[in-house]
Amino acid sequence: MALDVTSLLASSQQSPPLEQLLAAYRTQLSRPLDTLKQRQQQLQEQQKLLASLRTTLEALFFSAQSLTLPGAEGNFVTRKTQSSAPDIITATAQKDAVLGGSFVHVDRLARNDTLVSHRLTRTDPFGLSGLYHFELTAAGTTALVAVTLDGTEDTETALRKIATAINTTPTIGVVATVITDTPTTVRLTLTAKQTGTSAAIRFTDTDGLLAALGWSAGMFADPENRTVMTETSAGYQLGRASELNAQLRINGISLIRESNTITDALPGMTLTLLRAQQPTDPDVTLTTTVDVDTAASFLQTILDRYNSALKELNSATKGALKSYPAVRQLLRELRTLVSQQLGTGPLQVLRDIGITIEQDGTLKLSDRSRLERELIAGSERVAALFTSPGGFGERVAALLQDVIGSSGTLRTQWQLVSQRIQNLTGRIRQLESRIEQQVEQYRKEYLKLQQLYSMATAQMGILSNFALLPPGMFNG
C-alpha cells in the first residue's frame, strides 16, 4: 500500500505528529493480523475447553471403572451398628455383618500388666557399680537391657538410668517410669505396651541389679498367684495374669480376649470395650442395620460426576465446541445409556432405586425412601445395577474409554487444535514482523521527504529575499 506523500507534505503544518500517523497506518495494515489473532483466541478457548472436558470425563471414567473391580459391591452393601451404651462398648460393622441385635455384658476390660519396685528413699546411695545386664519379656518379645553405674548415684539417679536404658532398648515390650510417690521416696514401674496374658511381664536378673529393686523370679513363678505390690513392697498390680484379659458375655456366652478391640466374636463386626459393668447392670444392646447414609453418599458421588460431565458436554455443544460432532454424539450416548436397562434382576433401571432423570438429563436421587427400602430388601440387588456386567459402571467406562484414552477422540482433537494454534502463532509473528518493517520503512521515507521539503522551503525563502532587493543593486 503506497503512502500519499504529497498530501502528507502539503498538510505537514496541520497534520498530527508522526507517531500518530504511523499508528494509524499500522492499524490499517493490522486488519488481517486481527483476524488471525481472533481465530487464535477461538482455538485457545477450544483447547482449554477440551482439556477441561477431558479432566471431567476422566473423573467419571475412573468412578465407573472402580465399579467393575472386585469388591465394588461393598460400597452398596453397607452396615452400621448402634450401641445402647456407647460409653461401655461401641461397634463398627462391615458388609458381612448380620442384621439384627446382640446383647453384650462387659465383665472386665483387658489391661496392661504393671510391675512396681519397692519404695526406695530418693537420696540414699544406690550402692552398685559396674555393667549390669537383665532380660525383660513382655508383649511377645524378649530384650536384653544393659545398664552402667559408676557407684556415685543416689537411688533416684540410679532408677532413672535404669529406666532410660529400658526405654531406649529396641523392641522392648514395656515402658519404664520413675514415680516420686512421696516427697522422699521413689519407685520404678514397668508397664506392658500391650494388654492380655501374652503381654505379661517377666524378667531374668542376670547380674542381680533387679534384686535391688525388690524383684525376684519367684514373683511370677505361678502366673495365677503372682506377688502383688503393696504401698511399700514390690510386686505386680494384678496377682492373676488371667485378669489381664477382657471378659464379656455375648448373648449369654462367655468370652475371653486379650484385647479390648475384638474382631472375631461376631461376624463382620469390630467391638471396642470401653468400660466394665457391674454384675447387676443390664446388657448392652448392639443393633445392626443397613447403613443407608454411607451407601447414598457413595451413590451421590457417582451421580455428581455424571452430572458434571453431562453439564460440561451440554455447555460445550452450545459454545466453543459446537462444531465437534464427537462431543454431541457422546452427550447423546450418555443420556441414552442411563435411561436403558442396566440390570437383569428385580432391579433393572435407575428409577427402580429412586433415581430420576431431570429435564436437562442430569440424574437425581429424588426418592431416598425407595433407595432405603431396596437396600434393606437386598443391598446386593442395588449394587448389581452398577457393578454387574452390563451395569452402569461397565457401560460408562466402555463408552468413555475410546474418548479420553491416549489415542481417544478428545486427545486427538486437542492435538489438532494445538497444532493449529502453533501454526497460527507462527503466521502472526511473521505478519507482525512484516508490518513493523513496512512501518519503519515509511517512517524513514517520511523523515527523508520532510528533510527535502524543509531544504526546498529554505531555498524558496532565499529567492524571495532576492526579489525584494532594489533594482540595479548589483550593477557596476
* pLDDT score recorded for residue 420: 75
Nearest residue to 144 via CA among 131, 130, 160:
131
CB 239 within 8 A of CB 228: yes
* pLDDT score recorded for residue 357: 93
Q: What angle do CA 232, 238, 240 make, to 5 degrees?
A: 135
Nearest residue to 213 via CA among 203, 223, 224:
203
Count of all residues that appear for the chain in the document: 476
Q: Give the position of cell 519404695.
A: 119
* pLDDT score recorded for residue 457: 80
* pLDDT score recorded for residue 55: 82
* pLDDT score recorded for residue 389: 92
- Please tell me the distance from the alpha carbon of residue 200 to that of residue 239, in angstroms, as a whole number: 11
Report the 3 state secondary structure along the chain: CCCCHHHHHHCCCCCCCHHHHHHHHHHHHCHHHHHHHHHHHHHHHHHHHHHHHHHHHHHHHHHHHHCCCCCHHHHCCCEEEEECCCCCEEEEECCCCCCEEEEEEEEECCCEEEEECCCEECCCECCCEEEEEEEEEECCEEEEEEEEEECCCEHHHHHHHHHHHHHCCCCCCEEEEEEEEECCEEEEEEEEEEECHHHCCEEECCCCCHHHHCCCHHHHCCCCCCCECCCCCCEECCCCHHHHCEEEEECCEEEEECCCEECCCCCCEEEEECCCCCCCCCCEEEEEEECHHHHHHHHHHHHHHHHHHHHHHHHHHHCCCCCCHHHHHHHHHHHHHCCCCCCCCCCCCHHHHCEEECCCCCEEECCHHHHHHHHHHHHHHHHHHHHCCCCHHHHHHHHHHHHHCCCCHHHHHHHHHHHHHHHHHHHHHHHHHHHHHHHHHHHHHHHHHHHHHHHHHHHHHHHHHHHCCCCCCCCC
Q: What angle do CA 76, 82, 86 make, to 5 degrees?
A: 140
Please list the pLDDT of the chain residue by residue as tens digits (476 residues): 444 544 544 444 444 577 776 677 667 766 776 776 777 676 667 667 777 777 888 889 889 999 999 989 889 989 999 999 999 999 999 988 999 999 999 999 999 999 999 999 999 999 999 999 999 999 889 999 999 999 999 999 999 999 999 999 999 999 999 999 999 999 999 999 999 999 999 999 999 999 999 999 999 999 999 999 999 999 999 999 999 999 999 999 999 999 999 999 999 999 999 999 999 999 999 999 999 999 999 999 999 999 998 998 888 777 656 666 777 888 888 899 999 998 888 899 999 999 999 999 999 999 999 999 999 888 889 999 999 999 999 999 988 887 776 666 666 665 676 677 677 677 777 776 777 777 777 777 777 877 787 787 877 777 676 666 666 655 55
Sequence-separated (6 or more) residues with CB below 8 Å from residue 238: 111, 113, 114, 226, 228, 244
Q: How far apart are the first and last CA of the chain?
A: 57
* pLDDT score recorded for residue 1: 47
pTM above threshold 0.85: no
C-alpha distances out from residue 380 to 71, 84, 305, 385, Å: 11, 28, 23, 9
